[in-house]
Amino acid sequence: MEIKVISGDITETKVDAVIVNLFEGVEHPGGATGAVDQALGGIIGQLIGEGEIKGKLNEITLIHTIGKMEAERVVVVGLGKQEKFTYDSVRGVMAVACRFLRKVGAKRVATIIHGAGAGGMDMERAVQALTEGSILGLYTFRKHVTKEPEHGEIEEMIVVDRDESKLPLLERGINRGSVLAEATNYARDMTNEPANYMTPSDLAEAARSVAAERGLGFDVLEREDMEKLGMGALLGVAQGSKQPPKFIVMSYRGGDSTATPLGFIGKGITFDSGGISIKPSEGMDEMKGDMAGGAAVIAAMRAIAELKPKINVTGLVPATENLPGGAALKPGDVLRAMNGKTIEVANTDAEGRLILADAICYARKLGLAPLVDVATLTGACLVALGDICTGALGNDQELVAKVIKAGDEAGEKIWQLPMYEEYKEQNKSEVADVKNTGGRYAGAITAAQFLAEFSEDTPWVHLDIAGPSFIKKEQTYLIKGATGVAVRTLVNVALALAEEQPK
């Protein structure tokens, strides 16, 4: 879908449909909605009076113009209570409105900027959110479906504003929103792929293509390279699969050549059976999505390359399958990580932290700082926070606060969990330096404490996306299946830290 902005009057825009809005409790529409109401002979006001239009959040009312306007249809979308309306609400209402119009066959759609009038929002941020919501809300994954879709796609979205002087500002917002949303959809595509189409090698090739198209540095460490580096934890997980492991390295250089690069690390388990500690069969098909953190890092690097912030960023994705083959890791085995620490494998289904341990060690070897890792790490975090919220843990409170703020700006909810020293007791091993699971209680926290053994004194934040990475029910601009969570958060972190770089 092409999105562009024009200066003009929404009532005179010749399209299949226009989208206007109404806050809850408004009895007499004003602004652009009022102008549309007037053009339609007061029908919107009449429907408000009759109680058919209430303005409740994401409420959709379709009105056929019958030749009274250039547009064939008008959609009035409810914005809810004005005091609760946010930039994330903008994303949601656009997603709902666009999906509705796609179903009725609209190809060209025009919209006003929701929240920028009576809502008092910053116009550039509002149009960015509008763009994100439209693109994210129309996402589909039909690569392996041979049946023709029931409806076509919206081909063009026109953002209409009367003030011509604001067009450059609005174009910036549309550009950033498009880059972020399309990168998120790219992560969704990778995560939704069946595991036989998204092996570690396939994931590496996807990253290679992104790097080639966007001018990023790229390298892949093969098994032999990992052996030389002493990545015993990652190789231990990989030994049960016939698919060779890959360690993906992507680099963006937008800052001073001497500046320390920011490091992003994404868990890339392309299928997780649990290994010898095998998972129940119910729901195991969803374990193709255990590389959602790796997909988020690859997609974030793609967006960063397009937005070109003045910062250096390196993305690392350790990628492997976790399968119960004849050579597979066994409960009770001891592995040696890249930094020399030994790990007792109490449970082979706690494999994500093993591959991240070596990735964090490698990030420190490269001198990356600060570090943010993203992983579908623990079922415990899903139990604690559901599929609404990401868990954040780290060793640097200022960095944690920045990551949470970056998520809030992206509409991605993040909740900080504690890292009290007492939780380390649960990870103590009698046969090695540390064991890979702390047991049933506080599982998200003990997993993060395990990772802290390897991040050591490097500023680091861990994002456990086990809950929001994959959803079973549509939520405004989040479509059933992979959500692409953390892509926009990571990009926002890079953009915010770029602003802090010495000029």
Retrieve residue 407's tokens.
């998520």
> Catalytic annotation on 253?
no
On the question of pLDDT at 127 being above 90, the answer is: yes
pLDDT exceeding 90 applies to what percent of the chain?
98
On the question of pLDDT at 17 being above 70, the answer is: yes
On the question of pLDDT at 24 being above 80, the answer is: yes
Q: By three-state DSSP, how is residue 23 classified? A: strand
Distance CA(309)–CA(499), nearest Å, equals: 8
What is the DSSP pairing of strand 246-253 with strand 312-322? antiparallel
Q: By three-state DSSP, how is residue 176 classified? A: helix
Retrieve residue 270's tokens.
């392309």
CA distances from 400 to 192, 445, 463 (A): 29, 15, 10
Tokens 């929240």, residue?
115
> Catalytic annotation on 402?
no
For range 5-11, the mean pLDDT: 96
Q: Pick left, alpha or beta for residue 115 (phi over 0 → left; psi -120 to 50 → alpha; otherwise beta).
A: left
Confidence of residue 503 (pLDDT cuts 50, 70, 90): low
pLDDT at 118: 75
Instruction: Please report how many Cα atoms fall inside a 13 Å half-sphere around the Cα of residue 254, on the Cβ side.
Output: 23
On the question of pLDDT at 484 being above 90, the answer is: yes
Q: Are the beta carbons of 236 and 335 closer than 8 angstroms?
A: yes
pLDDT at 480: 97
Looking at residue 478, the DSSP 8-state letter turns out to be B
Amino acid at 137: G
Domains of the chain by start residue, with CATH: 2-180 (3.40.220.10), 193-500 (3.40.630.10)
For range 140-154, the mean pLDDT: 94
On the question of pLDDT at 3 being above 80, the answer is: yes
**Catalytic one of 56, 214, 253, 279:** 279
pLDDT at 502: 76
The answer to whether the peptide bond before residue 370 is cis (omega within 30 degrees of 0) is yes
Distance CA(75)–CA(62), nearest Å, equals: 5
For range 310-314, the mean pLDDT: 98
Phi, psi of 222 (to 5 degrees): -90, 175
For range 475-486, the mean pLDDT: 98
**Catalytic one of 102, 108, 288, 353:** 353
On the question of pLDDT at 90 being above 80, the answer is: yes
Q: By three-state DSSP, how is residue 265 classified? A: strand
Element at 120 (helix H, strand E)? none
In sequence order, the 6+-apart residues with CB closer than 8 A to the CB of 150 are none
On the question of pLDDT at 119 being above 90, the answer is: no
Single out the residue of 85, 87, 99, 272 nearest to residue 195, CA to CA. Answer: 272
pLDDT exceeding 70 applies to what percent of the chain?
100
DSSP assignment of 327-379 equals T---TT-EEE-TTS-EEE-S-TT--HHHHHHHHHHHHHHTT--SEEEEE---H
Distance CA(346)–CA(111), nearest Å, equals: 56
pLDDT at 334: 98
pLDDT tens sequence across 355-385:
999 999 999 999 999 999 999 999 999 999 9
Count other C-beta atoms under 10 Å from residue 441's C-beta: 10
Q: Are the beta carbons of 366 and 263 closer than 8 angstroms?
A: yes
On the question of pLDDT at 310 being above 70, the answer is: yes
Mean of pLDDT over the chain: 97
Distance CA(458)–CA(395), nearest Å, equals: 8
Element at 275 (helix H, strand E)? none
pLDDT tens sequence across 234-285:
999 999 999 999 999 999 999 999 999 999 999 999 999 999 999 999 999 9
Phi, psi of 456 (to 5 degrees): 50, -120
pLDDT at 254: 97
